[in-house]
Structure 1
Amino acid sequence: MAQKVLLFGDIGIDDIIALIYASLSEEVEIIGIVADYGNLLRENALRAIYYLADILNYDELSVPIIAGAEIPMTSEFPETVPEIHGEYGLGPIIPPEDGGNGVSENFFDIVNIIRENEEELIIVNVGRLTSLATMFLLYPDLMSRVQGIYVMGGAFWVPGNITAVSEANFHGDPVAAQIVLTQANNLTIIPLNVTEQAIVTPEMVDYIDQVGNVDIVKPMIDYYYNFYKNRNPNILGSPMHDVLTIMAVENENMFTYQNLPVTIIQAIAGTERGQSIADIRPFSNLEEEEEQDIKNHRIAFGLDYSNFYMKFMTVMSGNRFE
């Protein structure tokens, strides 16, 4: 039986590829999508998701689309990144203007989804953590009954992708990130340590385009790759941050993990804003960490790339790779 997943995302290209992957996979069933600000303005994210829902034949009752947060808990106006993801998170693709009529403006529809599924539900957050943090503030008991939470975020002893030390999702709303890490008891973090290894090369994309059934994959990933190639001419392909986080739900053997105490730097500005720090000291003061509400969380540090490659290509192309 496929694992039920409620997805929170800021709807960039890798979010869209993650949803396409999930729609083609027998291991994951998306039962709701919360579209937040982040890579895009929320209104553009909703328009993109509604366009994708039509392509993937999502039923509005079985896969409700919910309008999430518009701004972070720091109250700043979010900065979007169309140069990475396109204006609508679809690269060069512009979705129809009339999309979005089936979007729920009732944020608390999330509550109904969780209550109806509770212990068989996994939450996957692949964008800023504002909406997820809001749920922890308002419904901590309900959130404790969710089977597990997977978050794409953070960078531990590797360079960040927004500052030298900070990853985009934690940097975009460090207040929300800290709330989630403080409140969650069943959290898995999928950081840049592994997601930047989840490279999809142009050759992989060309093969998927030739034999796969979703025409928008190649133009989106080509757009995404052009950004990364311009920034780093040595990069071999596009990192699939959010796809890897979806894959983590049902592919434990793809990763190596450590359980460590984690905290997020709350600076409003500066290089350190949103930095994720894991305490690896064997002599760390556990009493002090308990007083500061610092919890241990499971963090992915190693990726079996060959496993990722075979799984990704098999699902996206519909062909078995050995």
Structure 2
Amino acid sequence: MSCAKKLVLDLDTGIDDALALAYALGSPEVELVGVVTSYGNVDVDTAVGNTLALLELFGHPEVPVYRGLDRPLVSDGPFSPPAGVRRIHGENGLGGCWPGGRCHAAPRDALDFLVSLVEGEDDVIYVPTGPLTNLAALIERAPASVGALSRVTFMGGALTVPGNVTACAEANVCNDPEAADAVLRSGLPTRMVGLDVTHQVVLARDRTARWRSLGCPAGRFLADMTDHYIGIYERNNPGMGGCALHDPLAVAAALDPSLVGCLPANLRVDLEGVTRGRTVCDPERLRDAEKDCEVALTVDSARFLGEFCDRVERALGS
């Protein structure tokens, strides 16, 4: 009988989500019991297809995939990624590469799955790496989930650095500010792994060359996909020396919180004006003794990168 903790990922399955998925599958201390899909890097249906194909490529087609909400809480229509996002992640979200295989399973409803999860399981690790729409909807449908969920680690936000969509806003929060604000004000314990730390962990081409040298289809796919991503960073952020590992770091910090140093804080999200989408300390709760969120501000980059490469190679079967 396995004693591994249960893990649920909530992915808008683009390139760094695919890397996070590989990291999770290569982590022996957890069992991936489901993937909930979202929108952001791609639309939600593309996220479903990408996730199913990746799970098959990595040899885990048994992991169930659940279709999440297809639009922000206050939107009238489904989300479609803008042209800038399609350039970064490719038209299919995976750098124009395709992992092969077919999508064999029809996805089930994400909210039904999440409600049953919080009612029937204890100490599940839940990591959203896209907008927080599914989580906000879960809290609205099942308010008791705030007490049932352990601390949720999410990739998103920027507290001490500029945003990557506007000067204030990070992409995941910007895609649904109302959802992020609802989650951060709900009382749910959270850990924010945002641009403050994800821009400190960078993957270079020597690592992808290693994956390609393994000689397996999954290694070649992952290398080609990630080299596309690195190429975007080389054009837009040439001083970084590679691509930021946004989503993998969130998964890593959920499994091993000692990788990051955190500031306890109560946060809100600005919903109006030029600062819409900004994550900021809530002035109404600054003096509250209890802090709902841990904001990651420092990271052990060397240790994380070593573990990331080891676990991805384990997922690739090497």
**What is the TM-score normalised by the length of structure 2?**
0.89
When residues 58 and 229 of structure 1 are mapped into structure 2, their CA distance, relative to the original with a 3 A threshold, is same
| 2:200 and 2:244 in contact (8 A); partners too | yes
The 8 Å contact of residues 129 and 177 in structure 1, kept in 2 or not, is answered as yes
* Contact preservation (8 Å) 2:88, 2:232: yes
Report the alpha carbon displacement of residue 236 of structure 1 after superposing the two structures with TM.
0.5
5+ long unaligned stretches in structure 2: none
Q: Note the C-alpha offset of 1:254.
A: 1.3
1:225 matches 2:230: yes
Counterpart of 1:148, as a letter, is R
- Structure 1 residues 84 and 184, CA, compared in 2 at 3 Å: closer, same or farther? farther
Distance 2:277 2:104 in 1: 32
Is residue 74 from structure 1 mapped to residue 74 from structure 2 by the alignment? yes
Shift of 1:249: 1.6
Secondary structure of the corresponding residue to residue 315 of structure 1: helix
Q: Secondary structure at the match of 1:253?
A: helix
Which amino acid in 2 is paired with 1:209? R
- In structure 1, the gaps of 5 or more residues are none
Q: Is the 8 A contact 2:130 2:172 kept in 1?
A: yes
8 Å CA contact 1:182–1:295 kept in 2: the answer is: no
| 1:313–1:4 Cα change, 3 Å | same
Q: Which amino acid aligns with 1:217?
A: L
Partner of 2:92: 88
Q: Deviations over 1:30-75 (max 9, x none)?
A: 1111111111111111111111121123344xx2211101110120
After the TM superposition, which of the residue ranges 192-201 and 294-303 deviates more from structure 2? 294-303
In structure 2, the partner of 1:174 is 177
Mapped partners of 2:259, 2:169: distance in 1: 24
**Alignment deviations for residues 185-243 of structure 1 (CA, whole Å, 9 cap, x no partner):** 32111111001111111112212332485322101111111111111222201111000
CA shift at 1:97, angstroms?
9.2
Asked whether 1:256 is paired with 2:256, we answer no
- Aligned alpha-carbon RMSD (Å): 2.4
Tell which deviates more after alignment, 24-33 or 235-244.
24-33
Say which of 176, 179, 183 aligns to 2:186. Answer: 183
Distance across 2 between alignment mates of 1:234 and 1:266: 32
Query: Could you tell me whether the CA contact under 8 Å between 1:135 and 1:143 is conserved in 2?
Result: no
Kindly provide the amino acid, as one letter, of the partner of residue 299 in structure 1.
V
1:48-197 alignment runs, 5 A limit = 48-60=50-62, 63-75=63-75, 77=77, 78-80=79-81, 81-94=85-98, 99=103, 101-105=105-109, 107-117=111-121, 119-197=122-200
TM-fit CA distance, 1:2: 2.8
Residue-pair matches, total: 307
Distance 1:72 1:100, change over 3 A: farther
* Contact 1:129/1:176, CA 8 A, preserved across alignment: yes
Q: What is the identity, as a one-letter code, of the residue corresponding to 2:22? A: I
**1:310 equivalenced with 2:306 (yes/no):** yes
Q: Which runs of 4+ in 1 moved over 4 A?
A: 95-98, 284-290
Residues 20, 248 of structure 2: 8 Å contact kept: yes
Deviations 1:169-196 (A, max 9, x none): 1110000000110114321111110011
Residue type of the alignment partner of 1:263: R
Matched residue type, 2:303: N
Distance 1:30 1:186 in 2: 21
Q: 1:100 to 1:273 in 2, by over 3 A?
A: farther
**CA pair 234-103 structure 1, distance change in 2 beyond 3 A:** same
What SS is found at the alignment partner of 1:233?
Answer: coil
Classify 1:33/1:314 alpha carbon distance in 2 versus 1 (closer, same or farther; 3 Å). same
Distance in 1 (CA, whole Å) between partners of 2:116 and 2:197 is 33
How far apart are residue 115 of structure 1 and its match? 2.7
Q: For the residues of structure 2 that align with 1:303 and 1:145, how far apart are their CA atoms?
A: 28
Offset at residue 318 of structure 1 (A) = 4.3
The residue type paired with residue 250 of structure 2 is T
Q: How does 1:5-44 map to 2 (within 5 A)?
A: 5-44=7-46
Query: Residue 275 of structure 2 aligns to a residue in which SS?
Result: coil
TM-score, L = length of structure 1:
0.88
1:30/1:140 CA distance change after superposition, 3 Å: same
Percentage of identical aligned residues? 30
**Cα displacement string for residues 113-136 of structure 1 (whole angstroms, at most 9, x for unaligned residues):** 33332x220110100111110000
